[in-house]
Chains A and B, each alone.
Chain A
Amino acid sequence: MKEAGARHVFPDGWPGIGLVGVGPCLVAGGRASVHEVGGTDALLAARLAAGDDHALAEVFDRLAPAVYSGALRVLGHDAAAQDVVQDVFVELWCHPGRYDPDAGPLRAYLTMQARHRAVDLVRSELRRVARQERSSRLEPGHPDPSPCEQMMASQTAAAVRAAIEMLPESQRRIVELAYFRGLTCREAAKAAGIPEGTAKSRLRLALAKLESMLDRQLLESS
């Protein structure tokens, strides 16, 4: 909240304004969302840009359920979905100008943001799982993960594996070589017996399809 600014005083009984001993007149914002001003998405965006915390609370109350359920559908576990919700709303609050009301509804913008973040999380989880598998092959004595970690990893891995299984054989092979066996693109190309350029192209296509499949899950959920 803006600071109160300089103290100003209007002597009592003077012609003109005539106020007495005025102290700082502004106070901190307090908790949000006492009233719903509502209005269009453009108005909400303008209020967010003006630092209106009530507007932030209104947007959350209206759209967080869709953002959360979409993220939960893709990610499969609650903690990660909550993180996505937080990231999406912090981003909206810190950079409200990135939402363009002329480009579409705020709901679509936020669910799109959630989808991108959820897919990014899945991708990074895919890389992490692949690293972990490689690491466990090299270090058999690696300590066991906690039950919670096991559950999260297994849910995410199941979603990713299901998506990979739907890829054409040629693309699935390159993904497995690059991500699960940890080969470079050149090494994966050699192992598959194809030119490096073809391997790169197949990998790009495969990743685009994976993203699209995971996106579709989110869209269906929202």
Chain B
Amino acid sequence: MTAAEHRPALPDGLRDRVLAASLRARAAGRPEPAAPEISPAEAFSRAADAFYGMLGVLQAEDWRRPALRCLDVQGLVGHLIGVEEDVHRGLAGDPQVAQASHVESTQPAADCQAGRPPAETRAEWRRTIGHTLDLVHAVGDPGTEAAVHGMRFPLGMLLVVRAFELWVHDNDIRQAVGLPPAVPDPSALGLMTQAAAQLLPHAAARRGLREPTSVHLVLTGPGGGTWDIPIGHSPPAPAEVAIVTDAVGFCRLVADRTTPGRLDLHITGDQDRAAMILAAASALALD
């Protein structure tokens, strides 16, 4: 007889009682320890500060290194200058920038950096960031919608998406020049993972995933959390998939900077369905 066979059965109702008491003490989904809450504007400001600091340590030759698409580092910073300028127009309600292509619309700003002293590019980018923050402050209400590059978001979500973009390009440049990758602080990363989880159904829809699925998404590590996300049209009993991976890796996946195969994933439920959802996660990446 084994030790387990000696054990008395658990009393009826104990499981429900303990789980309910636990969830009353700490709601499901919330990471522990919880990172201090910050505003989307603060997350954007921190990402900009980190990016500016990273540019400050680059050597002159680093600015010429290939970074993304056909852009060198300086061109990529120029691309971001163009993005900020389009955001300024978006905040002003310009309908043209609302429908503009993220890459094509910013290409002139990227091209015109060629031959400039890097310090000028860096300073110009910083000025555009400052102007963005001034406009955000002037708008005030984080629920105010703004449309740019095919996205229409409340201002708060737009700033989180922009912080996400700055972090991703920060790492593009770091990779190009051989610097170690950066990770946002848990407060900022928490806003990014929240945005990534919120956008997952839309990414799946964009890739044509219509089959109803309930995704239990667990992002581990600082800035992580847990979400139950319905994907597709929801009948009474959709298929269920649980996906566990680390928060930073998932954000890199959403940004199209890694693939599902390179993540440390733990999946239960329909493996094929999970694979399709993970493959679709990057569908909203703008590059």
Q: Which residues of A contact B (CB under 8 A)?
A: 1-2, 4-11, 14-19, 22, 25-30, 32, 34-39, 43, 46-57, 60-61, 64-66, 68-69, 72, 78, 82, 85-86, 89-90, 93-97
Q: How large is the interface on B (under 10, 10 to 19, 20 to 34, 35 or more residues)?
A: 35 or more
Least Cβ distance of B236 to chain A in Å?
13
Determine the chain A residues whose CB is within 8 A of the CB of B30 once the complex forms: 1-2, 51
Least Cβ distance of A35 to chain B in Å?
4
Least Cβ distance of A96 to chain B in Å?
6
Smallest Cβ-Cβ distance to A4: which chain B residue: B198
Are A16's CB and B150's CB within 8 A?
yes
Given known pairs A6-B143, A27-B230, A29-B228, the reply for A94 and B31 (CB within 8 Å) is no
**Segment with Cβ contacts to A, from B2-10, B46-54, B162-170, B252-260:** B2-10
Of the candidates B22, B152, B154, the one whose C-beta lies within 8 Å of that of A56 is B22
- CB of B175 within 8 A of chain A? no
- CB of B206 within 8 A of chain A? yes
Are A5's CB and B198's CB within 8 A?
yes
Determine the chain B residues whose CB is within 8 A of the CB of A39 once the complex forms: 244, 266
Are B226's CB and A1's CB within 8 A?
yes
Given known pairs A8-B198, A15-B99, A51-B28, the reply for A35 and B14 (CB within 8 Å) is no
Smallest Cβ-Cβ distance to A78: which chain B residue: B11
Bound CA–CA A57/B28 (angstroms): 12
Bound CA–CA A72/B11 (angstroms): 11
Are A86's CB and B17's CB within 8 A?
yes
Are A46's CB and B221's CB within 8 A?
yes
Are B268's CB and A32's CB within 8 A?
no
Least Cβ distance of A221 to chain B in Å?
8
Are B28's CB and A1's CB within 8 A?
yes
Q: What is the 8 Å Cβ interface bit string for chain B, positions 22-40, against chain A (1 contact, 0 not)?
A: 1101111111110000000
Least Cβ distance of B201 to chain A in Å?
5
Determine the chain A residues whose CB is within 8 A of the CB of B73 once the complex forms: none
Are B230's CB and A2's CB within 8 A?
no
Bound CA–CA A50/B224 (angstroms): 6
Determine the chain A residues whose CB is within 8 A of the CB of B19 once the complex forms: 32, 53, 56-57, 60, 89
Bound CA–CA A46/B242 (angstroms): 15
Least Cβ distance of A159 to chain B in Å?
17
Are B202's CB and A7's CB within 8 A?
no
Bound CA–CA A1/B31 (angstroms): 10
B69-104 contacts to A (CB < 8 Å): 98-102
Bound CA–CA A35/B241 (angstroms): 8
Bound CA–CA A196/B277 (angstroms): 72
